[in-house]
């Protein structure tokens, strides 16, 4: 597995090549296996929905959704996967020949056993990726991340200090992120084996005038991987239409961002295109690997059902697991609570090519995409600047 992991690390340095390889892996079963799939390449584990921030564009904590999320967490607190259940899940993923485990949330650093989980996964040969808002990157946390052998960390950064702190709902969040990155750089100077660092930025009306300023800030960090994506949103209409297609009892869910304020979704298309062109010009000498929404995605952003492609291969290569053990094909489908099963009752292997998952893949292929897929960053944000 060491050779395979080394190959994956190389692929992670080139997003388009990595996406191409994953697509090729998924296309054979997509066309030839009638809803069944080869073993998953990647497992995304949402460790918890708890979070220390209240980001204005978040699925779980935007103004319209945060009370629903807090109620969900309160009512299901005792149902979060235990350390033993997660270790069993990791063992199953390894047996299925999965290669990557991504720890996500909420904020994964809030989960008490996160470092022990990461260390266990690494010991089993998995590459562990980590997605964090970055404000908890203190010296002890950075030390434990390095000690656990985590492969890569994606840190959210939505603008210069004044904007980032406003978007994320916490004064001082920006400074904490840069302090954390500095701690990693110090460890690097000491010769420690470092995780690959990347930056993730959501485009909104709040930061659309600040990308050139943010570009300089990202350069200061020495991080060369910067992913810029449009805010993902769905609506009650897209949720209802998705439920009609999927059938069954699909009630509840979250992530209805149709009520996001204008300060988030009122993009100035001309400004965004100008920023894209200027970033491309400035980056010609800087050499960062930047993904940026395409011109078409920017121009059609206000269309609630626009997608750049008419297919998705994600459910043939990756799997998403909620804090409570529910298995989903992707995060957007988790928004309507249409799960494929629960790892507390059935094995991951049985769920992966079980009846419900196979039927879901068949429907997705038949309909090409679901209404809930609109704005999904996986199918709408793989464009190198």
pLDDT tens track for 357-367: 999 999 999 99
Question: Would you place residue 332 in the very low, low, confident or very high pLDDT band (cuts 50, 70, 90)?
Answer: confident
d(CA 81, CA 123): 20
pLDDT of residue 46: 97
User: If you average pLDDT over residues 156-170, what whole number do you get?
Assistant: 95
d(CA 264, CA 65): 15
Least confident range of 120-134, 177-191, 241-255, 314-328: 241-255
Token pair for residue 212? 């050139």
d(CA 357, CA 350): 10
pLDDT of residue 11: 55
Give the whole-number percent of the chain exceeding pLDDT 90: 66
Helix (H) or strand (E) holding 289: strand 289-291
Query: Cβ distance 72 to 254 under 8 Å?
Result: yes
d(CA 28, CA 33): 7
Least confident range of 16-25, 131-140, 217-226, 262-271: 16-25
pLDDT tens profile 202-246: 988 999 999 999 999 999 999 999 999 888 767 777 888 888 898
d(CA 252, CA 190): 50
pLDDT of residue 266: 86
pLDDT of residue 252: 53
Question: Would you place residue 69 in the very low, low, confident or very high pLDDT band (cuts 50, 70, 90)?
Answer: confident
Q: Give the strand pairing for 326-328 and 318-321.
A: antiparallel
Query: Cβ distance 306 to 300 under 8 Å?
Result: yes
DSSP notation for 84-129:
HHHHHHHHHHHHTT--EEEEESS-GGGSTTHHHHHHHHHHTT-EEE
Question: Would you place residue 382 in the very low, low, confident or very high pLDDT band (cuts 50, 70, 90)?
Answer: low
Token pair for residue 237? 């209409």
Across all residues in the chain, what is the average pLDDT? Answer: 89
DSSP 384: B
Query: Which residue blocks in the chain are alpha helix, DSSP H?
Result: 2-12, 15-32, 66-76, 83-95, 114-123, 139-148, 161-168, 173-189, 211-221, 236-246, 262-265, 269-286, 295-299, 331-334, 348-352, 355-367, 377-380
pLDDT tens profile 239-282: 888 888 988 655 555 666 667 778 888 889 999 999 999 999 99
In terms of Cα–Cα distance, which of 350, 372, 361, 354 is closest to 316? 361
pTM of the model: 0.92
d(CA 41, CA 99): 5
User: If you average pLDDT over residues 163-167, what whole number do you get?
Assistant: 95
Token pair for residue 115? 């470092």
Question: Would you place residue 63 in the very low, low, confident or very high pLDDT band (cuts 50, 70, 90)?
Answer: confident
Q: Is residue 90 predicted with pLDDT exceeding 70?
A: yes
């Amino acid at each position: 597995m060491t050779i395979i992991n080394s190959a994956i690390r190389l692929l992670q340095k080139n997003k388009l090549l990595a996406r191409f390889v994953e697509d090729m892996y998924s296309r054979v079963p997509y066309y030839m296996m009638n809803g069944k799939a080869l073993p998953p390449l990647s497992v995304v584990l949402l460790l918890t929905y708890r979070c220390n921030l209240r980001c204005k564009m978040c699925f779980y904590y935007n103004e319209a959704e945060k009370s629903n999320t807090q109620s969900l967490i309160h009512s299901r607190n005792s149902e979060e996967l235990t350390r033993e259940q997660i270790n069993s899940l990791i063992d199953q993923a390894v047996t299925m020949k999965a290669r990557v485990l991504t720890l996500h949330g909420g904020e994964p650093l809030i989960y008490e056993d996160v470092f022990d989980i990461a260390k266990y996964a690494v010991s089993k040969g998995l590459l562990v990726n980590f997605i964090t808002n970055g404000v908890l990157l203190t010296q002890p946390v950075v030390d434990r991340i390095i000690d656990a052998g985590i492969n890569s960390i994606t840190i959210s950064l939505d603008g210069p200090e004044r904007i980032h702190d406003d978007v994320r709902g916490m004064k001082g969040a920006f400074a904490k992120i840069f302090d954390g990155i500095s701690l990693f750089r110090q460890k690097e100077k000491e010769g420690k084996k470092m995780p690959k660092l990347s930056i993730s930025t959501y485009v909104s009306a709040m930061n659309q005038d600040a990308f050139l300023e943010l570009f300089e800030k990202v350069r200061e960090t020495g991080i060369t991987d910067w992913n810029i994506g449009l805010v993902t949103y769905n609506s009650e209409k897209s949720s209802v239409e998705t439920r009609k297609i999927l059938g069954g009892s699909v009630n509840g869910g979250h992530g209805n961002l149709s009520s996001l304020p204008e300060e988030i979704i009122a993009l100035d298309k001309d400004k965004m295109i100008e920023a894209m062109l200027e970033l491309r010009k400035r980056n010609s000498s800087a050499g960062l690997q930047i993904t940026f929404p395409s011109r078409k995605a920017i121009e059609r952003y206000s269309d609630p059902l626009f997608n750049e492609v008419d297919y998705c291969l994600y459910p043939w290569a990756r799997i998403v697991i909620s804090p409570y053990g529910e298995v989903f094909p992707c995060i957007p489908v988790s928004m309507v609570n249409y799960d494929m099963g629960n790892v507390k009752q059935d094995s991951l292997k049985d769920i992966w090519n079980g009846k419900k998952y196979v039927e879901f893949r068949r429907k997705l292929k038949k309909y090409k995409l679901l209404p809930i897929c609109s704005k999904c960053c996986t199918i709408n944000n793989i464009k190198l600047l």
